[in-house]
Amino acid sequence: MKIELQVNGETRVVEASPIARLLDVLREEIHLTGTKEGCGEGECGACTILIDGEPVNSCLVPVAQVQGCELTTIEGLAASCGYAEAGATPLQTAIVEWGGTQCGICTPGIAVCAQALLRDEPAPSRARIREALAGNLCRCTGYQLIVDAVAAAAEGGQS
Amino acid sequence: MSTAYLKPASLEDAYTARAEHPDYVLLAGGTDYMVGILHRPAPVGVIDLFGLSALTGIEAGEGVLRIGAAATYAVVLTDATVSESFPSLRTCVSEIGATQIQARGTLGGNIGTSSPVGDTLPVLLALDAILELGSSRGTRKVAYAEFCTGYRQTLLKEDEVIVAIELPLPSPGVQFWRKVGTRKAQAISKVMVAASARGSGETLTDVRLAMGAVADRPIRLGAVEALLEGQVPSLELAEQVRAAVADAITPISDLRSTAPYRLRSAQNLAARFVLQRVEAQA
């Protein structure tokens, strides 16, 4: 069926099965390959995007359910936060500076999820950061530098 | 053949769609259904109930809290009555998946999928939940304790939709929930135990003790409830509960756990329900 999506502020029309995974439509049809597939079972959070501002696993969302919703992927995250010109949010910059990424597969999902946290809770505790990122698995970093990066972005007062 | 997609705009439309297409899949948040979707044949069609406004509200009424079947876990977590009166449900829901799953998963979806490891299901048993089921023929109410009849089998008729979950108020003063998984968040349960009791003072009355992931469906342990009924929690009573649990369940080994581990965990969690009351009274 023909499906109209609002992705990163642009209208995109795709032809897809209503129960195609939103993840696949984003990557294969719209060619936004920043969103990664980790497990494909909703366990790892690598495919996290924002639907109307809320983090979700795009591997578990049937594409027909997001007609009329605002979708934000890692490619549009900075612009959605008012950092279009810089190309990265202070949080994204902090992740780079603190080394909160190694192989990088989990990083887009973590950036998206943590950005939503800092929007809702500008000064989260470290425990709260860990809780908010509990659905984002990272097999490289051991999480410490990810949490450090999010905490640093929060302390910087801008996210 | 491509999958048909119906998005009812009202409950009546949903009933009509369901009656006309009993072979279509009823879809809520998709957090279970979409797992492995690429490895199954495409369904003939889906009836998408996610976000249907008639199914998403939570209302505290006369003697009952009514939770719409398509209310997401995120919405359940922010409801004041759930937090005040049903802490066992709130804790359970807070431990389902993580924020990404809670944004889409629904109570009605958990009930409709009816997996033996559905986390909310033992809680619904312990809280004497009543389901409202609707169709073009009208609505009916079924105690959740009667609803699940076997492995992923339920009393839902092929033209029916789960409309709401009702939890009786006032709620039980004693409530308990514990699940054991490989990780604190985002873990499929190996064993879970939900329990409740009413009564004043130290004596346990109207005891409910339910478990998940220890049988082909979520179950109440009637013999253990009978053992606890009218008793004052004590260390001895906790030991009797351990023995009674061993007599009551026969868990299996599978990819998530082993039978001995499940049994030991179930015994310990049930005993914990009693011991927690002992500690509360100390």
pLDDT value at residue B117: 93
B36 secondary structure, DSSP code: T
CATH number of domain containing A147: 1.10.150.120
Q: Which of A15, A57, A131 to mutate to test the interface with B (most CBs of B within 10 A)?
A: A57
Nearest to A64 among B5, B42, B99 (CB): B5
B4 secondary structure, DSSP code: E
Are residues A64 and A12 part of one domain?
A: yes
pLDDT value at residue B1: 65
Q: Is the pLDDT of residue A159 over 90?
A: no
Longest CA–CA span in chain A (Å) reads 46
Are residues A12 and A70 part of one domain?
A: yes
Average pLDDT, chain A: 97
Q: How far is A1 from chain B (nearest CA, A)?
A: 8
Are residues A103 and A57 part of one domain?
A: no
B256–chain A Cβ distance below 8 A for any pair:
no
Are residues A70 and A25 part of one domain?
A: yes
Are residues A87 and A149 part of one domain?
A: yes
Are residues A89 and A34 part of one domain?
A: no
Beta bridge partners, A13, equal A4
Would you tell me how many other CB atoms lie within 10 Å of the CB of residue B56?
A: 18
pLDDT value at residue B279: 87
Are residues A89 and A55 part of one domain?
A: no
Euclidean distance between the first and the last CA atom of chain B, given in angstroms as a whole number? 66
DSSP of B162-209, one letter per residue?
EEEEEEESSPPSEEEEEEE-SSSSS---SEEEEEEEE-STT--EEEEE
Instruction: Determine what percent of chain A is predicted with pLDDT higher than 90.
Output: 97
CATH number of domain containing A59: 3.10.20.30
**Helix (H), strand (E) at residue B242:** helix B235-248
The mean per-residue pLDDT over the stretch A46-56 comes to: 98
pLDDT value at residue B282: 76
> Which residues in chain A have Cβ-Cβ distances shorter than 8 Å to B109?
none
Q: How far apart are CA B277 and CA B201, in angstroms?
A: 11
Structural domains in chain B, sorted by start: 4-49+56-168 (3.30.465.10), 174-281 (3.30.390.50)
pLDDT value at residue A157: 78
Q: Give the residue from A39, A55, A77 where a domain finishes.
A: A77
The three-state DSSP-derived secondary structure of chain A is: CEEEEEECCEEEEEECCCCCEHHHHHHHHCCCCCCCCCCCCCCCCCCEEEECCEEEEHHHCEHHHHCCCEEECHHHHHHHCCCCCCCCCHHHHHHHHHCCCCCCCCHHHHHHHHHHHHHHCCCCCHHHHHHHCCCCCCCCCCCHHHHHHHHHHHHCCCC
Q: How far is B182 from chain A (nearest CA, A)?
A: 12
Task: Report the predicted TM-score, pTM, of the whole model to 2 decimal places.
Answer: 0.96
Q: Cβ contacts of residue B74 below 8 Å, gap of 6+?
A: A54, B99, B102, B103
- Residues A60, B27: C-beta atoms closer than 8 Å: no
The mean per-residue pLDDT over the stretch A48-69 comes to: 98
Are residues A115 and A73 part of one domain?
A: no
Q: How far is B276 from chain A (nearest CA, A)?
A: 26
- Structural domain count of chain A: 2
> Which residues in chain B have Cβ-Cβ distances shorter than 8 Å to A40?
35, 38
Q: How confident is the model at residue A158 (pLDDT cuts 50, 70, 90)?
A: confident
B255–chain A Cβ distance below 8 A for any pair:
no
Q: How far apart are CA B97 and CA B73, in angstroms?
A: 10
Q: How far apart are CA B222 and CA B228, in angstroms?
A: 10
Are residues A39 and A102 part of one domain?
A: no
Touching A: B residues 100-159, CB under 8 Å = 100-101, 103-104
B43–chain A Cβ distance below 8 A for any pair:
yes
Question: pLDDT tens digits, chain B, 282 residues: what are they?
Answer: 699 999 999 999 999 999 999 999 999 999 999 999 999 999 999 999 999 999 999 999 999 999 999 999 999 999 999 999 999 999 999 999 999 999 999 999 999 999 999 999 999 999 999 999 999 999 999 999 999 999 999 999 999 999 999 999 999 999 999 999 988 888 889 999 999 999 777 899 999 999 999 999 999 999 999 999 999 999 999 999 999 999 999 999 998 899 999 999 999 999 999 999 898 877
Are residues A7 and A46 part of one domain?
A: yes
Q: How far is B90 from chain A (nearest CA, A)?
A: 16
Structural domain range at position A11: 2-77
Nearest to A42 among B31, B42, B74 (CB): B31
> Which residues in chain A have Cβ-Cβ distances shorter than 8 Å to B37?
19, 21
Nearest to A135 among B37, B46, B186 (CB): B186
Q: Give the residue from A77, A112, A144 where a domain finishes.
A: A77
Are residues A92 and A38 part of one domain?
A: no
Query: Mind listing the pLDDT tens digit for each residue in B173-187?
Result: 999 999 999 888 888
Are residues A87 and A67 part of one domain?
A: no
Q: How far apart are CA A109 and CA A45, in angstroms?
A: 6
Q: Which of B100, B113, B188, B189 to mutate to test the interface with A (most CBs of A within 10 A)?
A: B100
Nearest to B100 among A21, A56, A65 (CB): A56
Q: Give the residue from A60, A77, A94 where a domain finishes.
A: A77
